[in-house]
Structure 1
């Protein structure tokens, strides 16, 4: 672009949000896991002239009621205009200006202010998509998807009544295992960290069982049966330990299974009051569980006995903490919890509460993976993202020592499209969010416009459900999005 004459002012770029008008479209009538909280005050607009709201803990965060009139900032030194991405994306075009002022980094203020470059148009990945049709006899749909660790050719997908394993190749797709319509409900699924085994929990006749499958779909082990329904199943980040949670409305039981020993029965359970919604590992010895009004921190000793070391109770005793994620830092384990219907975020380990973090139901939270050169034992901050049906994904950072929580970016989907699931790339460079029939990818550090989008084909089999799944493979080269009775597998043509 030619340089404008010095005697003419440079025109200001038009203001829009993610390339869309700032007028906010109404939300679709979707129903998610929890009910809505009534009489919530309408939050202030993110990025306007009003001061950033500070809650009683002194945490600064944005409260959004409409798309902002300015864009998220780019942090100097974190990403260049080309996006530093090899996904066949068109590079951004630098606009030469005379007497260009040095932009001011505003991340420390926690507000998305300032545009420092002209973003490239989001790359459309739709042409690189393979659609897998999930054949289920019942009125069911995909609720879980997970790539085999270290193997981008094996994908597991499950719903309430089925679990399937797919082997993908450049020329074909083969279903290598399918347990549909065997009379059992699939209640949990998790790959062992090395990818040697897939643990699958099923429920039938008031009893739960866990089968171990190899990558070809053959049963290699059958664990002892358990009473009640297993609703959480997670392998430790390293090693052979797996936490198992069975829960009902009265009480929940947590136990640790050691697959290297394979005892004849499960070790002693740790009993928790009430229903447990979510369970997560913080490291190989600490587990967090979330329920109604509480988050529990459990520690596992050398004999694999689980003990509750802390019970954190929220200010509202009836708040349902639908999601919890854990991470290890230099100061010890940190938990991040989200209340779906309340739209609130909570750091129970440090007593930090952000009410109305979103103006509608939260559909998920995920912690950003550590970089390869980062040591969890020396980390002093936690970066995570939250998704909501208010059409946004928010990226947050929590400084452990100062106990300060800040919203770095508010990322907008297209008007009227809720964010129903989210996931970080394995290296944390990008964050992706799935909506009704498409997903979006953003640069985690830069925010602003999406670097890529994908629109998936729909038909009558994809209507009626709001469950969505999104999963990156271990190399960051493929994304799987489950929607309805379909799974869209997108080849990103490179490393993110």
Structure 2
């Protein structure tokens, strides 16, 4: 599907103005935009009356869509369009043969006057990515109101004409032939895109790398609301990064980094979670040697308090923890660990206790877990999809029958829908568990190769959409290594709403909606892409690793890739290996 850029939209309007007889308006547009629009590379491919045909196609499609869905058309202008103006074919200002408007103005012997200069601040000219110089600020005009009659005749209401383009009677003026409607071949309407995609490269802030030998960042996590810091953890690294939103001075670095002390040595952080703005729980795996030189691995669950200045060990028997989840309402800490081929579930009611309040084991490994209520949580893994309930004891609320290995799971609290990504053999699946059918895990063959991540959009008062019925849409985003992002309505399994290509079709390993639900980001080692999924399919912004030398960002480094939004949806972080960078949005 070909989307419209601002150059294409401007060119179509420029051509329409000439074809409809408004040469002076076309000339004004070319002065404010591009002196010779016919030099644009796509110009030879544009047929006469293209803009009219696009608009008529849109009107016809809107009518067909309304009939198919038994709803009212979105675009209704009523039967009375005002007094029509005949399209003039003046020799001076109207283009018939593709002659640029500024050349016609020269032939008009000064009939068209230059607009008065507008007082603006002088700015250094900069080349746009497409090589076209940016257009200056347009002069203030009345703005011709353009209309298209139902019979295809173009006219303008209350238009301001050039002095040389005197109004004539309808009998004197030749009319434009009726324009036939072109055949609709599109499956859905695409929003016209006139904005450019912002490049975030200039705003990149690179976090200083840890100086510890062999350090590797494996987890990043922004602090909760009111705590604008980024926590980076992994092998031999546990750091807090404070990034100043204001422009730093010459003497103030953009990033201030502090190491968090742990009562262990030669460690690797395997999981972490925020409990509050000043409390963090981490699982640390310490490598040490006994008295005869044998290497040993000791796993400890550690709570950091007072902003990381103090700590205490919760447990030394939690095992190799791969997931930590905090339940703020009940102040429960959920840990998931592996014990050989089996999974281990432990829930701490009081972090001062060394023994968990509830413990359960599964026959297969657990890969992910989430709280879905004050007292219930879901776990998924190898042929495993279970929901547990905490009461006097830890009980199994539901066991979903499945042969799929579910690798990641997400929950939408507003709808109660659970979504998961999994594999079985060479096939990949998207799974949905809807509260209206809570005993059946619905699965769908994933349409792209190697899906990697998923995320629900947080529903707010400003982004609650309906899906054509009384049910609100529940937006679920998924990404894959094939370079495609898909948006689904989880309330209508498995209704795909959009397919969004990533920047340069690069692989996307992580995806995340901003906390306010307004933006969607997908990223991999090579590029990051940001969309406003409600307003446009073309990205709002992008970032490319190739814009930087390898000492700044090396996309070929091995390691876990991570992506995250800060709590106020204004910044993104990405990390790979020992590299962390922050991108203001």
Fold in common (TM above 0.5): yes
Matched, 1:422 2:511: yes
Q: Which has the larger Rg?
A: 2
What is the Cα deviation at residue 153 of structure 1? 3.2
Supply the distance in 1 between the matched residues of 2:261 and 2:523 (Cα, whole angstroms).
26
Correspondence 1:432-471 to 2 at 5 A: 432-456=521-545, 457-459=548-550, 462=554, 463-465=556-558, 467-471=560-564
Matched, 1:391 2:474: no
Q: Deviation per CA, 1:441-485: give whole Å up to 9, x if none.
A: 001324511011123534167323263211111111111111232
Supply the distance in 1 between the matched residues of 2:450 and 2:211 (Cα, whole angstroms).
29
Counterpart in the other structure of 2:303: 212
Matched pairs, number? 393
Supply the distance in 2 between the matched residues of 1:298 and 1:310 (Cα, whole angstroms).
7
Supply the distance in 2 between the matched residues of 1:220 and 1:458 (Cα, whole angstroms).
39
Structure with greater proportional helix content = 2
Q: Deviation per CA, 1:70-97: give whole Å up to 9, x if none.
A: xxxxxx89xxxxxxxxxxxx9xx99997
Counterpart in the other structure of 2:202: 127
* Residues 1:124 and 1:342: Cα distance change in structure 2 (over 3 Å): same
Gaps of 5+ in 1: 15-75, 78-89, 102-110
TM-score of the pair, normalised by structure 1? 0.71
Matched, 1:228 2:228: no
Supply the distance in 2 between the matched residues of 1:272 and 1:438 (Cα, whole angstroms).
38
Q: Deviation per CA, 1:238-273: give whole Å up to 9, x if none.
A: 4422211111442111122234x6334211311111
Supply the distance in 1 between the matched residues of 2:147 and 2:197 (Cα, whole angstroms).
28
What is the Cα deviation at residue 131 of structure 1? 0.2
Matched, 1:484 2:577: yes
What is the Cα deviation at residue 394 of structure 1? 1.0
What is the Cα deviation at residue 216 of structure 1? 3.6
Q: Deviation per CA, 1:90-139: give whole Å up to 9, x if none.
A: 9xx999975399xxxxxxxxx97322322311111222221013225454
Counterpart in the other structure of 2:50: 10
Bigger relative contact order (CA 8 A; separation at least 6): 1
Matched, 1:412 2:497: no
What is the Cα deviation at residue 222 of structure 1? 2.3
Counterpart in the other structure of 2:32: none
Supply the distance in 2 between the matched residues of 1:299 and 1:100 (Cα, whole angstroms).
64
What is the Cα deviation at residue 412 of structure 1? 0.6
Counterpart in the other structure of 1:309: 397
* Residues 1:179 and 1:395: Cα distance change in structure 2 (over 3 Å): farther
What is the Cα deviation at residue 389 of structure 1? 0.4
Q: Deviation per CA, 1:143-173: give whole Å up to 9, x if none.
A: 2111111135311012234221112224332
What is the Cα deviation at residue 286 of structure 1? 1.8
Residues 283, 327 of structure 1: 8 Å contact kept:
no
Q: Please provide the CA RMSD for this pair.
A: 3.4
* Residues 1:179 and 1:220: Cα distance change in structure 2 (over 3 Å): closer
Supply the distance in 1 between the matched residues of 2:301 and 2:145 (Cα, whole angstroms).
61
Correspondence 1:156-171 to 2 at 5 A: 156-169=231-244, 170=246, 171=248
Matched, 1:327 2:379: no
Supply the distance in 1 between the matched residues of 2:536 and 2:527 (Cα, whole angstroms).
19
Residue 258 of structure 1 is aligned with which of 324, 349, 353?
A: 349
Supply the distance in 2 between the matched residues of 1:371 and 1:478 (Cα, whole angstroms).
20
Gaps of 5+ in 2: 1-12, 22-47, 55-73, 76-133, 151-185, 287-295, 465-469
Counterpart in the other structure of 2:148: 99
What is the Cα deviation at residue 177 of structure 1? 1.6
Residues 272, 280 of structure 2: 8 Å contact kept:
yes
What is the Cα deviation at residue 417 of structure 1? 0.9
Residues 479, 485 of structure 2: 8 Å contact kept:
yes
Counterpart in the other structure of 2:474: 382
Correspondence 1:333-372 to 2 at 5 A: 333-339=416-422, 342-348=427-433, 349=438, 350-355=440-445, 357-371=446-460
TM-score of the pair, normalised by structure 2? 0.61
Supply the distance in 2 between the matched residues of 1:415 and 1:360 (Cα, whole angstroms).
17
Correspondence 1:64-75 to 2 at 5 A: none
Q: Deviation per CA, 1:362-392: give whole Å up to 9, x if none.
A: 11111111215799xx986532111100101
